[in-house]
Structure 1
């Protein structure tokens, strides 16, 4: 065997070295590994790291008289399969190896045991959940019909056996093939498991992950070119697993009463992983909700007060546990809020809209009257400018209607409030309906709700999630400022400016301020103090930026800026960078030492599927491409990017002491971890500087299928800065000449012939 020395002992002891006939002596620089066979025999082998795994197995099998070599594989002591990608790393680390059944052979034996129920099914499923992640094993297992038996166990098993079966199915579904035959009956079985409050945590975790996978497996998410129906809608290619999606899953969820409520309740679970899985499922449902069932689903979530459950989660769990999921939820709620704001109120065709308007009117306890011209007077009594209620809500849509209804719910004296305004002279009445809609607009601008699908928030926003409650406080503040300032009809915009400045003050430092301070700012602030502050701000504020066309332009530029920064971040990943391999904060003291290879270079491949890397004792010039990067991490395995999670090893960074720390490790602010739902941390790294940290944490987040938020204030700042710069450039000529921007633009008639030209200068 080329450059390979072997010795064996039936009791597992290493005997004297014996080199097979004809094999040259191994170089003393080649590390020695221990290889254990299925029979418990241990051999000592020097393996040339330039060999392929197949060559190593062939030579081992030849030396040990085991044939055929294709029936065997190498695994390490933790059961990880040795491949060409990781062989060199294991040889260098002198990792103990085991000569075991090949994945294909193991898959055939496992499928046979499940089919014949030979032996302990629970133990078979326990082993299956580990091996089925491997592509070779999974393909052979499916070829042997193992999926059918796995589904059967998911239907019949209980306790730990059910947990192992569902975890195996979860890991199988990580492959985008082979499970497209799963039917709605199986989906309903998973729904039933999740609906039961008696289901143990180790069963609910994989069940939740399976349902999430079904939600995301819709035709729109399928990679590559999709076939189309006659209507032009995407459909799954033949044999694809992308044939499920939100509609199918939600239909099964509706069959089991209380299912969604149980998932929302689990957000408060003491088991952090369970809370995380539940949050990820809700995020997937929000991201993939179909147009046909969107309103029904959102209404149900609002009824279950999911926002309140997420706000509680912000304080129940440590930052690294749920930060990414909560930021994803906030981004989803921005999309929900934007969609509500841009959905027109339609009481004639939408029963829910008609019901809300009827409830508001009935709560006012007013009567419909006629004015001196014989026209109906109804909505004008509530402070709207006309009786065309659809037009009144045209700028704030269903969001404005929902906010007004919630305002009525929160104020038990709503009818008295309305009567008080009606008792005043016409010009002194505060237009309640108009004020409510204006507050909605102010809050939408404050939280940047002017572009669908984008969010630059890097911190928790509990006040945003309590949008209706903030609206109530701000609207009451509007009414109070109107009264205390003695405002009349022509002063409406002046009061709006007062409320705008108070919104900025009351909602500042949102992630750390307690709610009672927000209430105090709105309920107790005196008019004179607010007015003085507002006057100072008006000196610096340009009214041009508050016009509707300019706000729409800002929204367009915001989307373009976000996409530009996203592409820039991903380009940084494609170029690659050096990092320090960090230590987990809970690392045992004996592990706190300088590693032999403390540096790691990582680069994303052009297909955006794998992070290729190499560990090294020193930094070296890495060539373009992937030739210098033998190891890799599957991007699809990354469920979360944890930040501030790990500490630098001693004697690597300049600011570290030569001696290992005596107490607990301190996390580096430039550290981040690639976290997997199945395997814990895939990598713990420390970036060389803040810029590189922002590039990679945000770039990796933007690669995730269910991502969409930025981790760093640097990225968020870039997006906003580009937006504002672009806006100022667009408006430079107009603002320089103080040209009035109209609300609507009308085009003139086209030229009657082609005998015209464009002037090169303005006369």
Structure 2
């Protein structure tokens, strides 16, 4: 095995006239300089000076190896004396113009190391040039197309070249924020964005190469994502002031894009301060745009300059619809107008919280203290290899997301017929929509599809998402307290349903005595059954036919003492699902309709069905009534027998009567319909307590159709009367007349 050349031999090879000798020397140096002891010896032998000259004088692969060797030295934080203005200018020139990928890669890497170098030099050598963006600025002035070329390199086929280009973009952005001044770094970042850096990085995020999280490209992408969060946070920290020309121009832009009509002061108006026919701004100039006051700068307190940027961007992207919306609202009562400016600022905060901007690692401060810190952030993720959750390409499309979400805010406002006092309700609704749509997007989801979803989401869907998410939210917040509330509400709901089912028995019901054969024209005798008011007797009577009127208790000659009933048997199976209790939306639909009816009418209609059924309910018990104190031995031995057989026409009537009888006997309900209704009442009771709502407020979270009864017929919204003028016997029946 050939021994590696010593330092002296390599230094001589670097200054040799023979191209092959120089090429061999720089080729060997790339691997040997990875050893710190060899690198120190190389520096002591002034090898870095010879290497500098080789980087300037050679071409092709020899030059690529020379820059690669310089990179190896700089990565060890030595050899900085070799990086002077001519070398920097050469690196920038090669990065812009050279076609060979290996040369451009190494030239960009040198610039990355130079811009990213810690602010405190090692002390072993003096730097010939500055550091950061200032070090390469003269070269960039000589090559003004450099930044454009750098952004274009992000779409190169070579992944290492892409990684080096993006690393340099990251380094320049960091340095601009640290040393560019409060008003200079936003301009530089805006310039990069105008050149297409957002689109370039977004393509890299969605590409297959980004799935290898250990690659330099993946690290650079995640670093850019972290930088974006930090920049958003810093934009938010910039206070808005009308004393600053840039901020004043931004507000003026928002005003002018609304196409305001000049406010004409009438001739002779007192206190106008203007001549005849003079013009001035409308006294509600800013409130017309959706601000709460006529001092808009103060309303950016929470969002800072970020909120102003978003508002200006929204007005520019939607100039026509922005003007149209303001014109439409100008003819509406003030309380019904959607405050566009306020909505825009709210959306900025919603996106800010959704992307967890405040939780971003502050890599800017890390660089400022001279320590290189990892900016990937994937060590903070519970599953670091879940690429879909790690990359957030939609974060880079902040402006488009903000615009789409602000439009969605206005649309939901209009669909809900919201008023000023409902602003926070719509805000919370939109927060859920953003979490559901934007949060569910993967790294390859196109922003256009997200815009379409935000544009098409309905009020019904948004409210359902809101209610579906409450369980999870409050489970985390309340923990065991929520379980106690549920247990209490379960008992209350069961008691409510017991009362409702027993009321069905009190109301009475017709049952066929026998099941007619299919196609038979024979007259079927009917039995009317009704529970007594004191709930102690079950009255019934058989009739030749079913009458249109309901018999009174005095017309029912037979009765059963409920004290003699021992059990209730039935072949009732799980009934077919009713629209109110079918599917994921059963709770929402049932509550919407139940709020318009009295509790006694919560049961589903079914008495109009005339189809035959084989459903049978058998009431079992003893024929003789047991003695209240000392039952006789004969009574004790009385055999259990069928006291009454009922043949319900529909599954739901069977559910009402079977569970009603069971609950009357203090037993648990067994049918699917009753248990579903109990579960629904329990669920909505929890939700209403969590939302701190009254029952009459439920309409806000129900589906958009209002005032439909259980039968599907429209019912009027009844105003609850007061007690004034009524005595102690006052009561109110919400279901209808006489109930």
Which moves more between the two structures, 410-419 or 239-248?
239-248
Give the superposition deviation at 1:269.
0.7
Structure showing greater radius of gyration is: 2
Structure 1 residues 264 and 347, CA gap change in structure 2 (3 angstroms):
farther
Contact 2:437–2:454, Cα closer than 8 Å, also in 1: yes
Give the superposition deviation at 1:267.
1.1
The within-5 A match list for 1:246-395 is 246-250=133-137, 252-289=139-176, 290-291=178-179, 292=181, 293-318=184-209, 319-320=211-212, 321=215, 322-349=217-244, 351-367=245-261, 369=263, 376-395=283-302
Q: Which residue of 2 aligns with 1:430?
A: 338
Structure 1 residues 201 and 365, CA gap change in structure 2 (3 angstroms):
same
Q: Which residue of 2 aligns with 1:169?
A: 70
Q: Which residue of 1 aligns with 2:328?
A: 420
Q: Which residue of 1 aligns with 2:60?
A: 159
| In structure 2, distance between residues paired with 1:368 and 1:448 | 42
| In structure 2, distance between residues paired with 1:316 and 1:541 | 34
| TM-score, normalised by the number of residues in structure 1 | 0.52
| Alignment partner of 2:349 out of 431, 438, 441 | 441
Alignment size in residue pairs: 432
Contact 2:226–2:360, Cα closer than 8 Å, also in 1: no
| In structure 1, distance between residues paired with 2:31 and 2:469 | 62
| In structure 1, distance between residues paired with 2:222 and 2:288 | 41
Contact 2:239–2:305, Cα closer than 8 Å, also in 1: yes
Give the superposition deviation at 1:212.
0.8
Deviations 1:190-247 (A, max 9, x none): 1222122x43211111111111111121316x67xxxxxxxxxxxx786479951233
| In structure 1, distance between residues paired with 2:115 and 2:197 | 19
| In structure 1, distance between residues paired with 2:455 and 2:19 | 70
| Alignment partner of 2:436 out of 505, 515, 533 | 505
| TM-score, normalised by the number of residues in structure 2 | 0.54
| In structure 2, distance between residues paired with 1:406 and 1:397 | 15
Which moves more between the two structures, 521-530 or 146-155?
146-155
| Alignment partner of 2:115 out of 215, 219, 234 | 215
| In structure 2, distance between residues paired with 1:99 and 1:158 | 28
| In structure 1, distance between residues paired with 2:51 and 2:224 | 33
| Alignment partner of 1:479 out of 410, 430, 436 | 410
Deviations 1:67-117 (A, max 9, x none): xxxxxxxxxxxxxxxxxxxxxxxxxxxxxx54454xxxx221222233343
Which has a greater percent of helix?
2
Structure 1 residues 450 and 199, CA gap change in structure 2 (3 angstroms):
same
Give the superposition deviation at 1:314.
2.0
| In structure 2, distance between residues paired with 1:259 and 1:280 | 15
| Alignment partner of 2:462 out of 503, 516, 530 | 530
Give the superposition deviation at 1:163.
0.9
| In structure 1, distance between residues paired with 2:303 and 2:232 | 10
Give the superposition deviation at 1:427.
1.3
Give the superposition deviation at 1:158.
2.2
Structure 1 residues 403 and 373, CA gap change in structure 2 (3 angstroms):
farther
Give the superposition deviation at 1:316.
3.0
Q: Which residue of 2 aligns with 1:148?
A: 49
Structure 1 residues 309 and 118, CA gap change in structure 2 (3 angstroms):
closer
The within-5 A match list for 1:23-42 is none
- What stretches of structure 2 of length at least 5 have no aligned partner? 273-281, 363-376, 385-389, 478-691, 693-739
The within-5 A match list for 1:219-230 is 219=119
Give the superposition deviation at 1:436.
0.1
Contact 2:83–2:129, Cα closer than 8 Å, also in 1: no
The within-5 A match list for 1:511-590 is 511-512=442-443, 513-537=445-469
3-state SS of paired residue (2:150): helix
Deviations 1:555-580 (A, max 9, x none): xxxxxxxxxxxxxxxxxxxxxxxxxx
- Report whether the alignment pairs 1:115 with 2:15: yes
| In structure 2, distance between residues paired with 1:461 and 1:129 | 36
| In structure 1, distance between residues paired with 2:139 and 2:31 | 29
